[in-house]
Structure 1
Amino acid sequence: MGRNLVCSIFLPYTINFHLDELENKGPENLPASYEASRNRRNSVLIDNALSHLAISQKDNSPGTPVLTPQPENTSDYFGTAAVRRGGNTGSGTGSGIKTPKTSNIGTKTPLPASGRSSPVYTQPRSRAASPPSFTQPDDRFGAPGIGAKKNLIRKRRDSLIKDVALFESARWTVERGINGNNGLFSAVGAAVRDKKITNQLWVGLLGMPTESLSKKTKDAISAALLVKHQSLAVYTSDSEFEGHYNHYCRKILWPSLHYQHNEIFSFFHEENNWDAYVSVNQAFADKIIETYRSGDTIWVNDYHLLLVPGMVRKKLPNAAIGLFVHVSFPSSEVFRCFARRNELLLGMLGANLIGFQTEEYKRHFLQSCSRVLYAEATFGRILLEDRYIDVYSHPVSADPESVQANLDSEETIETIEVLKKRYENLNVFVGCDKLDPIRGIREKLLAFEQFLYDNPSYQKNTILLQTSAFTDEARQYGVEVSDIVTRINSTFGDFSLDHLPVTFLSRDLSYAQYLAVLSIADGFIVTSLREGMSLTCHEFILTQQEKKSPLIVSEFIGCSAFFREGALIVNPWSTLEMSHAMRKALEMDDASKKKRYDLCINVIRNHTASTWAAEFENRLKKSWTSQQRHDLSHIPKFTLNFVGSRYASAKKRLMFLNFDGQAVSWEGRHEFMDYHYGYIINILTRLVNDPKNVIYICSCLDRDELDSLFVNLPGLGLIAENGCYVKPHTAGDDNLQGWIRLFKKDEMTWRDSMHDIIEYYAERNQGSSLIDHGYAMEFNYVKAENKENGMRNALELCSSVNETGNTCKAIPMEGHVLIEPKNISKATAANYTLNKILHNPEDLDLVLVAGNNRTDEGTFVWANRLPIFSFTVSMRLENTDAHSYTDGVPSFFNVLNSLCE
């Protein structure tokens, strides 16, 4: 059985080095590097403290009150026992996860999406920041430049040697990681628990600097992770990781994917750190390629690794590769701002299946591929020259079983009781977010301020409890948030009653405390300006079985579509709208609360984290199997040996043949027919004269042209204008004489508006033209002076037509785009022929469909689904839904000629 290689930027595990044990051995047994390392760590702590103090003094104006007074430990605030942090003791190097009973790093304890209490581990410092400041202009990802002094390089090398010796002599243990995609970890873990996924193997970084580790230490860690934790560790240099994660991912990809494009950051960071992004992705690809075995599936996750699918595809062309993008995906107008937009999209298109959180993100990706790469994007599929990629949406969810287990824990229950007493007789709104401008904390506070202004009766009995741990990255944003909190508390607070409307906790919470805060909320507010899903909303719903308080959620979050019927959906940019939602949440009657809650909880129970992970794996396997069948290297060639015996034994045969695609082009429709006319007519005559055969020619040509071409074959059935008209094969049946129209007049109402649109594009492309075929319209750019511009306009036309949901569809073909009725095709005409014209269709035991352009693919799909044995044949050397192929039209007719003999 193949393995499931689940790739994420960080593994669910990391390493903790027990350097404190070295000190207990006595000074005489310490490595020479230990004292220097300890002094350096102490120095860093002092520098950080001084830096934080200086910034606090600088950013807070004189007389401005600080944030909510913070206890030394969050447990003091919650009135429970101290939060137990990492620093495990135990025996054995790499012996496994050592879990304190109440710590959130336990094996079975999921990490919340935000507001979590992070354990403290002893790990190497990053080597990326080693060079002094004056070497930075000549840097590449933190390495000393050409202008760096030799003694500085020597000092850095000597320091590295000391660190290697230090960590090589220390005992280490594998711990639950504090970085990474916790929603993914929880989902895969739940699917493994439920036996929906088996034989999974994690691939990722350790979430810590590794350049200071010796090869011996890395090998030992890798072995322990593989054997005991089913994980493959990927190693990169600290400088490459710095450029990849902290610069390209966090300062370029993350903001722009969430519509917060920063021109200054893009100018300085995008090109400079692109090489680092490529290097880290290549390290993942190399590890996957090295590990891959036939039958494995590869599941790549999120925006950190968008290049990995393409890199792996180059080396493993037949591998099953999936990519799921957990964050939002912007519109094509935003995505095209990336300097490396082509490389990012091509990397993603190395996958067989690409998943997104919502239909909106999926649509944006399809548009980006169409408008940036000029790729043909249909509903849920990207068509390339040699293959296609399935694209779908299925939102991530939470794991109810795991959340419930933690809700029932003693620590959570105790904390809930403490909070209930603390906030007795108060309305409590809760928010739990990372301190990031994208999370919309500022907008939430402004809306709460508006709510208090608009509703004086709630000023003394309503609070907002917001948890957001401060980070260096969002320091300036934290100052802005602090000013708003101060203003609200100064305006509406009552210090004599110890009442502050906003309680802002800027420290981490344990998972038990986090769940307890959600449980006591009278309303949970999530106002992200953009976000992929926000699993905090799911966790809130799962904690509200008793109170059933409302969820207020931004319309720009993926879960707004998930909970659309049950949540209060708001525009975070409208303080007035959010203020009204807050009041509505507090004044909602119990019946309305229960109705909304039931809608939300049922959605979660029907779409759990476990089913999401299992669904992705199943979809990936199906997509890969289907695409293997479409690959010409995996489908048989249509030959006499392939079809002969089945053809000979059939008692009644039905054939639909189209050979006018590239052979009979719009510019010279009769070139092929003029040259091979006698040969083709001879073959068709013999086929038609066989009483076992019913033959139909399917064509894009109009009725008059087909009549003139096949005037001497009265027993030949004809399908004209890509399925708009059918001329029955049956001669002598008065009810089936002449051409039958298969469309209604109201299905052609699109023609007038489409005429203007195509004319608009044609006028702006010198040499291109609009051609009216009656049943269809064509934008033709074969003779355009600027072919690239013509192709771009053609694909924009396709996107605009196919996305509007009109009664017409656009089919891109070589040199032109065909616009025709949506509900009429060669497939619908073939189906009409089978069910309405053919006598005794139940006697049919063979169907053959052959074609050589894009319009035939629907007929292939139709025939493949028939309960009758079918041959589907593609005459073009591209990926196809046909189950066999030939090397062009002449080869196909050569086989037909052999069948007639």
Structure 2
Amino acid sequence: MPSSQFLKSSVTAISNGASTSTNSKYTRIINVTHLIPYDTYMLEPPKHSEDGTITYNWSIRQRRGHSALYAGISSLAKDWDSYHIGFVGQIFDFEEKLIENTSFTEVLKKSLQDFLLKKKIVPVFLEDEQHHGHYEGFCKTVLWPLFHYILWDTATDGRQENQNWEQYRAVNQAFTDKIKEIHRPNDLVWIHDYHLLLVPRMLRDSLPDAAIGLFIHAPFPSSEIFRCLPQRKEMLDGMLGANQVGFQTYSYARHFISNCTRILGYESTPSGVDAKGSIVSVGPFPIGIDAERVEVQRKNPEVAPKIDSLRELHSGKKIIVGRDKLDLVKGVIQKLHAFEKFLSEYPEWQHKVVLIQVTSPALTDSPKLERRVAELIAHINGTYGSLDYTPVHHHHSQIEQHEYYALLSVADIGLITSVRDGMNTTSLEYVMCQQENYGPLILSEFTGMAGSLGAAIMVNPWDYSGVAKAINDALTMSDDERQNKHMQLYRHVTIHTAQFWAKSFIKELIHSLNINNQTNITPHLDVQLLLEKYKSSKNRLLLFDYDGTLTPIVKTPSQAVPQQHMLEALSKLVDDPKNTVWIVSGRDQDVLEEWLGNIKKLGFSAEHGCFLKYPESDKWINLTEDIDMSWKNDVDEIFTYFTERTQGSSIERKRSSITWHYPKECQNHLESAILPKLPVEILLGKKNLEVRPTLINKGEIVKRLVTSMQDVDFVFCAGDDRTDEDMFRALKRSPDFNDLDYFTTTIGLPNKKTLASWHVTSPEEVIQTMIKLTESNRS
């Protein structure tokens, strides 16, 4: 049996014995993280039997780090049948030596997979080169700096960058394939962080009906920064494969939505993005910590002696504690400058306050940064220290867990000065450890936790005097105020835990899925039924939008020239005496004449129905002659104002409408200045805003054409955007058309919100359908 089939059958066998307390139709969760939550150990040498089989004895230990993430998703197993997919990571042998990936035989992989599967862990095995290019390459040298507002060194190897990007894609595909191996209907798939941003779209393309959530544990940058990423469109499109995308803060969510609007041209609201008709929910879901676990660990018997030791060592002094990874975004340099400013501006605290700064090595650890930190500490200690007083105590190493909790417990102030931070759970653990001491928390406003911990003292880490004042305020704060602030923080930390975060995200995901499922899934066009009705009809009306329906959407409108096989299909359709074929487009007359005018039997509706030209006629009929079009001057003035101030924008002036190409900065101004006064509507399209008269639209044209034709018995109508919904609405809601065999067809995904009765996925599928209609006459 192939390994993928074996995996799927094994997962099914385990799942059949599981139960869930939820009433939702979604009974199983597949959690997907870059790494599984455990380090894996081979307990003894492999045993070789006489028949040649090899037996391994495995064990796992909780992986250090990301405890909030793993605590949150593991808590879901109480109410759900929960699986975990991730890179297996490091494997150690019986002597606790690292086993290189090159030593992973198929037998070893199979044995380890079977062992982990019993614990509902599905491992992903990656080659060393592949993992390095994905993680150390693209994730840590491109995405992590970008998400933290750090742009890269321009002197980089372009070939290596491309290779890292390909490895990133390959690893995302490997994760997608692993999900597909075990996925079944009514599964929820929850994908985590920037390591796997392409997985939602890859999975959506393979499993269109999958329920997918995505949570980003890092900051998300504004469009001015994110636009610097060469693969920006691929990344955003990958993320929009999810049904719901979550972030730590509202500002990160807002940045993501703004990027989707500015870079992809999608419509959006403050709570979601319309990705080609699929509504993707977007929102903040602040993560917490496993408060119960921290409470147990801070009361560990090894912690109290360490607290006593620290108090004795710094007897008579106030202790400020900082604990950070040593990378640029953690603001250690800013913290030291602020502490020096504090000693300078508040000399009464000299010899009475110490800063204990612990820095753990980071993947992006820089010898240059470490040297700067060491030099700055030496300067502070040399300037303000003495034989019996050292202002700054720096420990650049990993410290034991009991030492860490002792440090947080003994502190009089917790000082966090990150210049950019996705979450910072240290602040939450500090609050848990201050239940006896009530030490104030000084927190950078640039951390992801700043929006949740309102009772902390907020600071700008670049404002050294401001941070110095905050330290003094914290040291001089009354006991009652300290206790009151601590209780506010403590309530938040103990209520909004990692478990609360996980359940909140899943609950909201199910809610958004239920709302979207209330909208009927539009079935795929039944071509066989279409052909049957087409062949049996005698008087047919065929209606086609142009952009996005007969041709793909392109960046520059002038590039949407018709393809040869589409022109041939149109020509054959109009040659059938039973057919009347119209192009109902937002394009102006000149463009339609230039591209399609050679097909004489073709009818045209230009500018969303404002101009008509009947088949085999050379005359255009202007339906706006009796409409006041003076509003165009007001709109043109607004569009000109924004065009002069918006890079890459342009104005397209038509006889009956006026379109501003690119973003939506001026939409609010138009809606307030134009809509209340004039008979026009604003259409937010694909990277454009169009203002047109309300009295004429594509729906009115469809009504006119159907009622003007005698004995029409078949209508095929295809379109892709909001203006085409007017056509679908006209055919669906008019009682005069109830006896028609009509096929209203939208281009997009099956969950696209539409009034059409059918859907196809691309303009090419429309053209192939046209070709089949022409061929049906010969069958």
TM-score (norm 1): 0.59
- Matched residue, 1:618: 507
Unaligned 5+ residue runs, structure 1?
23-28, 32-164, 638-658, 677-700, 707-720, 722-749, 782-789, 825-850, 861-872, 889-901
Residue 393 of structure 2 is aligned to residue 509 of structure 1: no
Alpha-carbon contact 1:635-1:885 (below 8 Å) kept: no
Q: Which residue of 1 aligns with 2:72?
A: 187
Distance 1:17 1:491, change over 3 A: farther
Structure 1 pair 799–348 and aligned structure 2 pair: CA distance change class (3 A): farther
Q: Which residue of 2 aligns with 1:63?
A: none
The structure-2 alpha-carbon separation of the partners of 1:417 and 1:857, relative to structure 1 and needing over 3 Å to count, comes to: farther
Check 1:769–1:572 CA distance in 2 against 1; reply closer, same or farther (3 A cut): farther
1:275-354 equivalences under 5 Å are 275-354=166-245
Say if 2:93 is the partner of 1:203: no
Give the 3 Å change call, closer, same or farther, for CA 456–240 of structure 1 in structure 2.
same
In structure 2, what is the equivalent of residue 361 of structure 1? 252
1:475: which partner in 2?
367
Q: Quick check: 1:7 aligned with 2:54?
A: no
CA distance in 2, matches of 1:415, 1:808: 70
1:570 aligned partner, one-letter code: V
| Cα 1:814–1:313 shift into 2, 3 Å | closer
Cα separation, 2, equivalents of 1:177 and 1:218:
20
Equivalent of 2:329, from 438, 458, 474?
438
Which of 60, 79, 96 in structure 2 is aligned with 1:174? Answer: 60
Which residue of the partner structure matches residue 8 of structure 2?
none
Pairwise CA RMSD: 4.1
Structure 1 residue 244, shift from structure 2 partner: 1.1
Q: Are 1:857 and 1:881, in contact at CA under 8 Å, matched by a contact in 2? A: no
CA distance in 2, matches of 1:448, 1:814: 52
Distance 2:487 2:725 in 1: 44
Equivalent residue in structure 1 for 2:290, among 370, 389, 399:
399
Distance 1:405 1:803, change over 3 A: farther
The letter for the 2-side match of 1:5 is I
What is the 5 A alignment of 1:843-862?
854=722
- Counterparts in 2 of 1:567 and 1:765: CA distance versus 1, 3 Å: closer
Deviations, residues 395-438 of structure 1 (Å, cap 9, x unaligned): 11112222212222222233333333333321111111111111
CA distance in 2 between partners of 1:338 and 1:852 (Å): 30
8 Å contact from structure 1 (residues 524, 551) kept in 2: yes
Partner residue, 1:500? 390
Of residues 623-632 and 271-280 in structure 1, the stretch that sits farther from structure 2 once superposed is 623-632
How many Å separate the matches in 2 of 1:802 and 1:465? Answer: 51
- Hey, what's the Cα distance between the residues in 1 that align with 2:312 and 2:723? 69
Q: Which residue in 2 is equivalent to 1:607?
A: 496
Contact 1:7 1:301 survives alignment (8 Å): yes
Residues 770-796 of structure 1, C-alpha deviations (whole Å, 9 max, x = no match) = 99x9xxxx7515xxxxxxxx3xxx2x2
| CA shift in 2, pair 1:445/1:819, >3 Å | farther
In the alignment, which residue of structure 2 is the partner of 1:768?
Answer: 652
Rounded Cα–Cα distance in structure 1 between residues aligned with 2:142 and 2:687: 37
Match of 2:379 in 1: 487
Is this contact kept in 1: 2:33–2:86, CA < 8 A? yes
Change beyond 3 A, Cα 1:501–1:288: same
Alpha-carbon separation, structure 2, partners of 1:815 and 1:551: 45
- Counterpart secondary structure, 1:768: strand
**Residue 212 of structure 2 contacts residue 244 of structure 2 at CA under 8 Å; is this kept in 1?**
yes
Sequence identity percentage: 29
Q: Which moved more, 1:877-886 or 1:4-13?
A: 877-886
- Cα offset for 1:808? 9.0
Residues in 2 aligned to 1:541 and 1:807: alpha-carbon distance in whole angstroms: 50
> Structure 1 pair 767/607, CA: closer, same or farther in 2 (3 Å)?
closer
Greater relative contact order (CA < 8 Å, ≥ 6 in sequence): 1
**Conserved in 2, the CA contact under 8 Å of 1:664 and 1:671?**
yes
Q: 1:780 aligns with which of 640, 647, 659?
A: 659
Letter paired with 2:514: T
Match for residue 214 of structure 1 among 85, 88, 105: 105
Report how far residue 301 of structure 1 moved: 0.3
Letter in 2 for 1:245: Y
Alignment of 1:535 with 2:535, yes or no, is no
- What are the residue-to-residue correspondences of 1:234-245 with 2, within 5 Å? 234-245=124-135
Change (3 A) 1:767 1:245: closer
Give the residue type in structure 2 aligned to 1:501: P
1:582 is matched with 471
Q: Choose the corresponding residue for 2:348, options 426, 443, 457.
A: 457
Q: Which residue of the partner structure matches residue 98 of structure 1?
A: none
Partner of 1:16: 41
Q: CA deviation at 1:176?
A: 1.6
d(CA) in 2 for partners of 1:184 and 1:807? 48
> How far apart are residue 614 of structure 1 and its match?
0.7
Aligned to 1:556: 446
Q: Are the counterparts in 2 of residues 204 and 233 from structure 1 also a CA contact under 8 Å? A: yes
Distance 1:357 1:807 in 2: 36
Partners of 2:607 and 2:654 within 8 A in 1: no
What does residue 813 of structure 1 align with? 685
Checking the alignment, whether the CA contact within 8 Å between 2:197 and 2:239 is kept in structure 1 is yes
Secondary structure, aligned partner of 2:280: strand
2: distance between equivalents of 1:803 and 1:545? Answer: 52
On the 8 A contact 1:874/1:882 being kept in 2, the answer is no
Please, which moves more after superposition, 290-299 or 873-882? 873-882
Report the Cα offset of residue 441 of structure 1: 0.8
- Counterparts of 1:457 and 1:766, CA distance in 2: 63
Is the CA contact 1:330–1:361 (under 8 Å) kept in the aligned structure 2?
yes
Aligned equivalents of 1:808, 1:533: Cα separation in 2: 43
Q: Distance in 2 between matches of 1:257 and 1:272?
A: 21
1:633 to 496, 500, 522: 522
Tell me the amino acid that sits aligned with residue 271 of structure 1: N
For residue 805 of structure 1, report the CA deviation from its aligned partner: 11
Which range moves more in the overlay, 272-281 or 369-378? 369-378
SS in 1 for 2:360: coil
User: CA separation in 1, counterparts of 2:204 and 2:36?
Assistant: 23
Q: Deviation of residue 558 (structure 1)? A: 1.2
> Could you tell me how far apart the structure 2 residues matched to 1:446 and 1:470 are?
21
Residues 513-569 of structure 1: CA distance to partner in whole angstroms, max 9, x if unpaired? 212211111111111111111111111112112222211111111111112x31111
Instruction: Provide the C-alpha distance between the structure 1 equivalents of 2:207 and 2:320, rounded to a whole number of angstroms.
Output: 52
Partner SS state of residue 34, structure 2:
strand
Measured against aligned partners, the alpha-carbon deviations of 1:258-286 in whole angstroms (never above 9, x if no partner) come to: 01112247555532311111121111111
CA distance in 1, matches of 2:725, 2:493: 38
- By how many angstroms is 1:386 displaced? 4.4
Given that 1:331 and 1:364 are in contact with CA atoms closer than 8 Å, whether structure 2 keeps it comes out as yes
Task: Tell me the CA shift for residue 336 of structure 1.
Answer: 1.2
SS at match of 1:561: coil
User: Could you tell me how far apart the structure 1 residues matched to 2:418 and 2:648 are?
Assistant: 41
Task: Check whether the contact 2:408–2:430 (CA below 8 A) recurs between aligned residues.
Answer: yes
Shift of 1:329: 0.7
Q: For the Cα contact (< 8 Å) 2:420–2:446, is it kept in 1? A: yes
Q: CA deviation at 1:371?
A: 2.1
Task: Note the C-alpha offset of 1:374.
Answer: 2.2
Tell me if structure 1 keeps the 8 A contact 2:257–2:273: yes
* Amino acid corresponding to residue 186 of structure 1 in structure 2: A
**C-alpha displacement of 1:339:** 1.8
Q: Which runs of 5+ in 2 are unaligned?
A: 1-25, 91-99, 527-544, 548-582, 589-605, 615-622, 676-681, 695-718, 729-742, 760-779
User: Which amino acid is the alignment partner of residue 487 of structure 1?
Assistant: H
The number of residues matched between the two structures is: 593
